Amino acid sequence: MAESENGSIGLPDLGDSIDALTFEQILEMDDDEEEREFSKSIVYGFFEQADKTFKEMDSALEKNDLATLSALGHFLKGSSATLGLTKVKDSCEKIQHFGARKDENGNPTHYDDRKFLSLIRDTVKVVKADYKEVERVLKQFYRDPDAH
Amino acid sequence: MGDLKARLKPLFRRSSTFSSPKSPKAPKNSVFEAPTDEAPADDRSWSKTSLRLKNKKPSFAIPVYEEEEAPAQLHPLTPIETESLGRGELEQSPDTSLEAPRSPPPPPLEKENPTLIVEAPTPQSRGAEHKKIWVKRPGSSATQVIINEEDLVDDVRDMILKKYANSLGRSFDPPDVTLRIIYRHPSGRHSQTERTLGPEESVSKLLELHYPGGQSVEEALVIDVPQRRTPKHSPHLAMPYFLHDDLRPRENGTDYFPPMPLQGPHSPHLPSNLSVSSAQGVSHHPAAHSIGVLTTGQIPNLPSPGARMARHSQHRPKYGRQHTSSPTVIQGAGNAQNHENLKSSNPQPLPTPPIPEEMTPHKAATPPLPRVSSPGPRPKPPVNKRSKKAVEQSSAVPGSIRDGAVPPINVLIVEDNIINLRLLEAFMKRLKVRWSTAMNGKDAVTKWREGGFHLVLMDIQLPVMNGLDATKEIRRLERVNSIGVFSNSASSTPTFANGDGVGVDRVPEIEDSLMNTALFKSPVIIVALTASSLQSDRHEALAAGCNDFLTKPVNFEWLTRKVMEWGCMQALIDFDGWRKWKDFSQTKPAEKAAGTNNSGKSPKAAMNGKVQAGGGKKEKERMTLSLAKENKASSEDTGTGTDTNGDSGSGNEVGRA
């Protein structure tokens, strides 16, 4: 990547699930490159938010509550987009669409609700896996002892 | 070579005040010769219309318009007056004086520089005796560039921009680049001496002199570029640089990318240019244009995407900018029309009165520039990246658009996601503007009703009340309260989805009336934050009464631009309002002064004054808001209420005292 060639930022390769430009924008807000206080608080805030949202998604799935699932998908989409967590964002967007009884691209479709719910169930699995991955990368980046 | 441009520019400016094709080769000619010169900096000169055909480096390519269109880039909104630019008068604009070095009459200095000749072969083609030297950016690893035996530092700069095509080449011209040599010290003395190289020095000789026995990697010449951050592309429309097959401004300029800013990196305007300080000329446009907004009252005329979309089709013919004698007039127009522009809340310039000829070159360049420096694709300030401290420092550098000139505005951030909210808050902190937050649409309306906001960043999908509804509600309240200097101007009021907007001068219901109309100088600017890049969503946002939009994830540079643009406008309006208020209050005894006097004399009287003034104020609001309505003021208020504001109150107090 051109970025590394000119030494733009000392970022490790964050993998393709994180959009470097977007994430760097947050890193640039850090006053101290060692501490990275601000970005870390944002990222860890996101971890908490994601965990909570996943739980809420699970319970909404149990209740077959499509509207809530859509809202939750939208909610997490917003913050994951802000962090540049592309894959998570994409999955969340799908959940948002499915919950709104649309196909994954946001076009209205005529599945029955059970189909939507099963689509969401699958997507939630995907998004959790995607999330695990970025969480690991990010924790490594912040030298979190929990990083595995 | 770029250095030469800098030197020549003053010459050109002077000559340009006379009749146009003065030099043997008018710039227009040089346009057609341009392709023979493949130096990167020249590739990027935007007005070389034919250049793109030969341009082999897509990364340098910017949209270049057909010749008759090129002038339009000077200003997107002045279609008529610009056509002549494409002809001999091209050189009249300082912007286009980039062309200057191509025309042959060079001062003696340039004669010794082979690359100054337009037909000069590219360095690579020059043959066998080339060698490699090490260069590096501060804190980065070194890299080699190929030079020829007789190459000057100036040539090396060209090569460097080719080498760093992405990080430097897109946003800097060769004259921006400076090279430092770090002296080799036999004794390991502590202080390392170094020197900035002049463009005219011979590289080979320098290296032989300072690094006998050859240059090692550690001795790489250090590349410095001015510290400057320019907004980058909004993510969803990142490709305008490559739209070769469709060069019409309209397409290139869709939404965020009107034609003009695209020339940004290549404009001579480089306010924080550190390196060329020796070369007179580049600094010919001082950073004044950012301030220009304040001094001239002219808002840079590039419409923001939202507004632009709506207006575009009617007002900007694709082709046929014709028949004008003056290429510019923009700023002049601004001066003359400024008030009208503001009043109609329509930043589009009206037909422009002619302005004195000699003012032309200057004026032409200035208005677009503040925004021109924008969409370099992620330019990387080299030093900054290494140390965040440096970032802080550099962002404190005055003259930088972002930091120096952010207007003193108050922003309301409406965002339900705490993560996004915190980031936006951090952005605001960085921009040093005041802000408040709201987590849902209802909150937002409540906060807005407190008054004093200039700009609202409105997330669209919000709980309780979504952003569109909140926007509609704010617009409705603005309308029923007759907020703003242009409250009656149809052009400024968006169409309302609800039926309420019909009666413009309607008296507001009590629950709709705003508590302190003095805090509502003008309709607030609402910038929608849309998660999707769907056009339909944007139209919806605009229809609801948003002025503009940003795509999420919000990009800091774009946000900065929006805050700048809208903030400047709002600050101006506010100033206007302030002045009016001041004039008004000067004609009458100042209420406040009286109040202070009283408080000094007798607490009781002061109390009374306060109460009465308060009553008067309320009353005034009611008066203005519900002029024809039944006066529902309570009996004790009526006395003061019939007089204007607190004047009667202070009058009473004075009498009593």
Chain-chain contact of A33 with B388 (C-beta, under 8 angstroms): yes
CB-nearest to A6 from B140, B419, B555 is B140
- Chain B residue numbers with beta carbons less than 8 Å from the beta carbon of A71 are 463
Min Cα separation A39/chain B (Å): 9
Please tell me the distance from the alpha carbon of residue B79 to that of residue B525, in angstroms, as a whole number: 27
How many other β-carbons are positioned within 10 Å of the β-carbon of residue B448?
26
DSSP B595-609: HHHHHHH-HHHHHHH
Q: Does A6 touch chain B (CB under 8 A)?
A: yes
Domain boundaries, chain A: 15-29+36-141
Q: Does A78 touch chain B (CB under 8 A)?
A: yes
Residue B340 has pLDDT above 60, yes or no: no
Chain-chain contact of A82 with B417 (C-beta, under 8 angstroms): yes
CB-nearest to A78 from B137, B141, B552 is B552
Q: Which residue has the higher pLDDT, B123 or A73?
A: A73
What value does the mean pLDDT take over residues A103-113?
86
Residue B5 has pLDDT above 70, yes or no: no
Q: Which residue has the higher pLDDT, A127 or B350?
A: A127
Chain-chain contact of A29 with B426 (C-beta, under 8 angstroms): yes
- Chain B residue numbers with beta carbons less than 8 Å from the beta carbon of A83 are 419, 553
Q: Does A8 touch chain B (CB under 8 A)?
A: yes
Q: Does A68 touch chain B (CB under 8 A)?
A: no
Min Cα separation B431/chain A (Å): 11
Q: State the average pLDDT for chain A.
A: 86
pLDDT at position A112: 87
Percent of chain B with pLDDT strictly greater than 90: 7
Residue B131, helix vs strand vs coil? strand
pLDDT at position B408: 77
SS3 letters across B33-76: HHHHCCCHHHHCCCCCCCHHHHCCCHHHCCCCCCHHHHHHHHCC
Residue B286 has pLDDT above 90, yes or no: no
Domain boundaries, chain B: 2-107+234-372, 124-224, 406-585, 591-656
Q: Which residue has the higher pLDDT, A1 or A36?
A: A36
Q: Does A22 touch chain B (CB under 8 A)?
A: yes
Chain-chain contact of B419 with A31 (C-beta, under 8 angstroms): no
Superfamily of domain A15-29+36-141: HPT domain (1.20.120.160)
ipTM associated with this complex: 0.89
Min Cα separation B63/chain A (Å): 22
**CA neighbours within 13 Å on the CB side: how many for B4?**
29
pLDDT at position A31: 86
Kindly report, residue by residue over B400-444, the tens digit of the pLDDT.
344 456 677 889 999 999 999 999 999 999 888 889 999 999 999
pLDDT at position B207: 79
Question: Testing the interface with B: which of A29, A47, A51 to mutate, by most B Cβ within 10 A?
Answer: A29
Under CATH, which number does the domain B406-585 receive? Answer: 3.40.50.2300
Tokens of B235: 């993510």
Chain-chain contact of A2 with B141 (C-beta, under 8 angstroms): no
What value does the mean pLDDT take over residues B262-279?
39
Chain-chain contact of A79 with B137 (C-beta, under 8 angstroms): no
Q: Hey, CA dihedral for A96, A101, A104, A108, is it positive or negative? A: negative
Chain-chain contact of B392 with A78 (C-beta, under 8 angstroms): no
- The pLDDT confidence band at residue B186, using thresholds 50, 70 and 90, is low
Q: Which of B5-14, B131-140, B625-634 has the highest mean pLDDT?
A: B131-140
**Closest residue by Cα to residue B523 from B469, B477, B584:** B477
φ/ψ of residue B91, rounded to 5 = -70, -5
For chain B, state the CA radius of gyration.
Answer: 29
**Closest residue by Cα to residue A95 from A141, A128, A144, A134:** A128
Q: State the average pLDDT for chain B.
A: 56
- Chain A residue numbers with beta carbons less than 8 Å from the beta carbon of B144 are none
pLDDT at position B457: 93
Chain-chain contact of A6 with B380 (C-beta, under 8 angstroms): yes
Min Cα separation B243/chain A (Å): 21
Size of interface A-B (CB pairs under 8 A): 92
Please tell me the distance from the alpha carbon of residue A12 to that of residue A67, in angstroms, as a whole number: 39
Antiparallel, parallel or unpaired: β B178-182 and B221-224: antiparallel
DSSP A25-43: HHHTT-S-TTT-HHHHHHH
Kindly report, residue by residue over B213-262, the tens digit of the pLDDT.
788 888 888 888 876 554 444 444 434 344 344 434 443 334 444 344 33
Chain-chain contact of B417 with A75 (C-beta, under 8 angstroms): yes
pLDDT at position A61: 93
Tokens of A123: 């997507």
pLDDT at position B161: 81
Chain-chain contact of A81 with B553 (C-beta, under 8 angstroms): yes
Chain-chain contact of B416 with A75 (C-beta, under 8 angstroms): yes
Kindly report, residue by residue over B442-489, the tens digit of the pLDDT.
999 999 998 888 899 999 888 888 899 999 999 999 888 877 644 444
Min Cα separation B531/chain A (Å): 7
**CA neighbours within 13 Å on the CB side: how many for B600?**
7
Chain-chain contact of B235 with A42 (C-beta, under 8 angstroms): no
Residue B641 has pLDDT above 80, yes or no: no
> How is domain B124-224 classified at the CATH fold level?
Ubiquitin-like (UB roll) (3.10.20)
Please tell me the distance from the alpha carbon of residue B220 to that of residue B408, in angstroms, as a whole number: 44
Report CA-CA distances (Å) from B428 to B65, B299, B454, B559.
37, 22, 13, 9
pLDDT at position B213: 79
Residue B77 has pLDDT above 90, yes or no: no
Residue B297 has pLDDT above 80, yes or no: no
**Closest residue by Cα to residue B414 from B480, B473, B358:** B473
pLDDT at position B173: 80
CB-nearest to B388 from A32, A71, A81 is A32
Chain-chain contact of B417 with A79 (C-beta, under 8 angstroms): yes
pLDDT at position A117: 92
Min Cα separation B382/chain A (Å): 7
Residue found under tokens 């104020």: B617
Chain-chain contact of A46 with B419 (C-beta, under 8 angstroms): yes
pLDDT at position B329: 35
Chain-chain contact of B166 with A83 (C-beta, under 8 angstroms): no
Kindly report, residue by residue over A58-106, the tens digit of the pLDDT.
999 999 999 999 999 999 999 999 999 999 999 999 999 999 999 888 8
Question: Testing the interface with B: which of A27, A79, A85, A89 to mutate, by most B Cβ within 10 A?
Answer: A79
pLDDT at position B587: 54
